[in-house]
Amino acid sequence: MELKIELTRQPKEKPADENKLGFGHIFTDHMFVMDWDKEHGWHDAKIVPFAPILMSPAATCLHYGQEVFEGMKAYRTESGEIRLFRPQENFRRMNESHDRICIPKFDEAFLLEALKKLIEIDADWVPHTYGTSLYIRPFTIGTEESLGAHSSTKYKFLIIMSPSGAYYEGGLAPVKIYVETKYVRATPGGTGFAKTGGNYAASLKAQDVAAEEGYSQVLWLDGVHRKYVEEVGAMNVFFVLGDEIVTPELDGSILSGITRKSAVEILRSWGYKVSERALDIQELVDAYHAGTLKEAFGTGTAAVISPIGELKYNDLVMEINHNEIGEISQRLYDELTGIQWGKVEDRFNWIVKVK
């Protein structure tokens, strides 16, 4: 497919202070767009100036939630090199989300090259300060003008980008987590493994309740038995139980995180016993009382590693590792961010260089 390019004639002023970027509020000069219909398939791929998109109020995505998205980052090293971390995995996962939400799949190799070109054009928007990055948001929406409850006959795929500040401005501090026992995020057979907006909308109520209790995130339990650990907030989760590191198995209701996958591979390469299995919340309680719950942390694109210092389950408040980041959590964070920013050898060949 040909990639058309239209450069902006009115470039925006770039942020003067990279320490005040925040997240998701500032956008680069350009975006990638392509369309799909039954006659042409995916077509009209182009890089154009960032601008609002014209869409019917009757578009499928607005009424039946037919949309998926991804999240990844571009990093600038001290030498000025711009790099991506396992972007092929993001596009592969996005195609899996497409399949679940009945959206046609795309050519992953073409999209990766289009993304690299988009970043090259907006390269000056990639922040220079360590810890900052260029956040990348690919997403697809159903755009058919119809109120019928069926999959769309037209789609639009876009990539927008936003320079973002460091996630841990004040250091890598443990967070307090509230175990959710009333609300359900996803169930097997549903859309829990897909990165679609409906999953996040369903999580907001529990998140608000947890915040009222003074907790920053929710630990989700499974939707059937209401006892097996699934995700923490919008992240995958790991627990160090004695000499075993446990993360819930991917059973169809848990997102297959790229950071999760990378953490598992790194930990195993270091010789740790990593188990991907069902994890009963009562097993965590028992481990806490036995003194074998040593560490807990979430993994995700935004935070990379988010250490957990406190876990509240019903009336039991469990302090983990004296509410301090654990040795394994810290080492894993240093390794992953080191690879991303070019400070640690990329022995897994995960980095894709842009320029």
Q: Six-digit token pair at 128? A: 């220079």
Residue type at position 348:
F
Residue 10 has what pLDDT? Answer: 95
pLDDT at position 351 over 90:
yes
**Residue 251 pLDDT > 80:** yes
What distance in Å separates the CA atoms of residue 174 and residue 288, rounded to the nearest whole number? 17
Regarding predicted confidence, which is higher, 242 or 168? 242
Tokens coding 9: 């004639």
Average pLDDT, the chain: 96
**Per-residue pLDDT at 206:** 95
Q: What amino acid is encoded at 270 in this protein?
A: W
Give the model confidence (pLDDT) of 256-274 as tens digits: 999 999 999 999 999 999 9
CB-based contacts of 36: which residues, under 8 Å, 6+ apart?
42, 43, 104, 154, 155, 156, 157
Arithmetic mean of pLDDT, 108-114: 98
Span 113-122, pLDDT tens digits:
999 999 999 9
Average pLDDT over residues 188-202: 94
Is it the case that residue 217 has pLDDT exceeding 80? yes
User: For residue 169, what pLDDT band results from cuts at 50, 70 and 90?
Assistant: low
pLDDT tens digits along 6-50: 999 999 999 989 989 999 999 999 999 999 999 999 999 999 999
Alpha carbons 60 and 149: distance in angstroms, whole number:
8
Residue 247's pLDDT band, with cuts at 50, 70 and 90, is very high
98/139 Cα distance (integer angstroms)? 10
pLDDT digits (tens, 9 = 90+) for 114-154: 999 999 999 999 999 999 999 999 999 999 999 999 999 99
| Cβ-based neighbours of 331, under 8 Å, separated by 6 or more | none
Query: Which residue is associated with the tokens 């972007």?
Result: 87
Element (H, E) at 34: strand 30-37
Mapping DSSP to helix (H, G, I), strand (E, B) and coil, where does residue 59 land? strand
The pLDDT tens digits for 67-100 are 999 999 999 999 999 999 999 999 999 999 999 9
* 355 against 311, higher pLDDT: 311
The token pair at 150 is: 């069926």
Note the pLDDT of residue 166: 84
CA dist 95 and 125 (Å) reads: 27
**Average pLDDT for residues 276-301, to the nearest whole number?**
98
pLDDT band at 172 (very low <50, low <70, confident <90, very high): confident
